[in-house]
Chain A
């Protein structure tokens, strides 16, 4: 277990509502990532962070924002959820630039 907790693990929300997913780590790792996993698309990078308040966009960042005010927490926000954002969301952490990433258990989000 890499010391990563994603919350909530499951969520159903309505179209147009804001949603925030939380990734919490106990490892004090510098790098944190948010991915979404969809059938036929594999894992796609949404946003990532390389330090407190240092974030950057990934492949599919439209409709998502992130914040990292503390080393241990990386928040992913859907400002106005759409059905196309129904997915499984994974958070990952990485010790250094060249190391592998370790993943959380995932959050299944359904937008109805």
Chain B
């Protein structure tokens, strides 16, 4: 069975602080894909990043960075120098061989001015 755990239900940080959102996954598949999505207060779901199981390189996109570690089954997301516009619910997701995309319960991030 596949499972995604986002243990942090809610996080609050002051603007300009760095924040890391944790994601731990479980799968028996050797080939799988991991995703992060953002859901701002307006409600839409915005795709942020995809990573496959064979690519453990970390990725940086502006203030966003992702740390994928197969050894610990984790795919963590860091926002550097957070801004109020980063306030949202962030979801981590996993797709295995059967084409199902399973989501974690999400982490609600509050960036305080």
Contact = CB atoms under 8 A, between A and B. Distances in A.
Interface of A: 31, 33, 35, 40-45, 48, 50, 56, 58-59, 88, 90, 92, 94, 97-103, 105-106
A98 B51 CA distance: 10
A99 B35 CA distance: 10
6 contacts: A33-B101, A35-B103, A45-B100, A56-B99, A100-B47, A106-B44
Where chain B touches its partner, the secondary structure class is: strand
Contacts of B62: none
Nearest to A103: B45
Where chain A touches its partner, the secondary structure class is: strand
Contacts of B63: none
Interface residues of B, number: 22
A43 B43 CA distance: 13
B52 to A, nearest CB: 7
Interface string B100-113: 11111110000000
Contacts of A43: 45, 91, 93, 103, 106
